[in-house]
């Protein structure tokens, strides 16, 4: 469902991100032809044996965008500091998923500071 949600953020977008332009044509717009190609491969990429096939795509989001708003900023930093030294690998602030929320996670956030994901550009 996340793949569908991400695909739909590009719906009717002209000059879309290449990873969502599934249907090879000259229209350069995300439309029903692209949806048909997407639907044809529905759930096939969730099978680990098929991962890497030509019809399997993955959208990459910023690891340090803890609140998924499309930009790594002070909101993400506040979430990280609130969870500082927490050892729960399932919380989003534990970016590297290696033990506690610590300087390694802060380093990843610093590398991605003020970077924007493609979701941010679609919504703005």
Contacts of 123 (CB under 8 A, 6+ apart): 9, 70
First to last CA, the chain: 23
Sorted by where each begins, the domain ranges of the chain are 2-46, 74-123
Distance CA 107, CA 20 (A): 31
pTM of the predicted model over 0.85? no
Q: What is the pLDDT along the chain (124 residues), one digit of tens a residue?
A: 666 777 778 788 787 776 677 777 777 788 888 777 777 666 555 444 454 555 555 556 789 999 888 889 999 999 999 999 999 888 889 999 998 999 999 999 999 999 887 554 444 4
């Amino acid at each position: 469902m996340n793949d569908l949600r991400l695909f739909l953020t590009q719906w009717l977008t002209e000059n879309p991100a290449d990873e969502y332009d599934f249907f090879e044509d000259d229209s350069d717009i995300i439309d029903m032809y692209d949806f048909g190609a997407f639907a044809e491969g529905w759930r096939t990429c969730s099978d680990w044996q098929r991962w890497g096939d030509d019809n399997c795509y993955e959208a990459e989001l910023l690891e340090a965008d803890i609140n998924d708003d499309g930009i790594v900023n002070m909101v993400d930093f506040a979430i990280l500091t609130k969870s500082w030294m927490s050892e729960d690998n399932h919380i989003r602030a534990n970016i590297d998923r290696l033990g506690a929320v610590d300087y390694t996670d802060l380093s990843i956030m610093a590398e991605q500071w003020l970077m924007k994901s493609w979701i941010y550009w679609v919504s703005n």
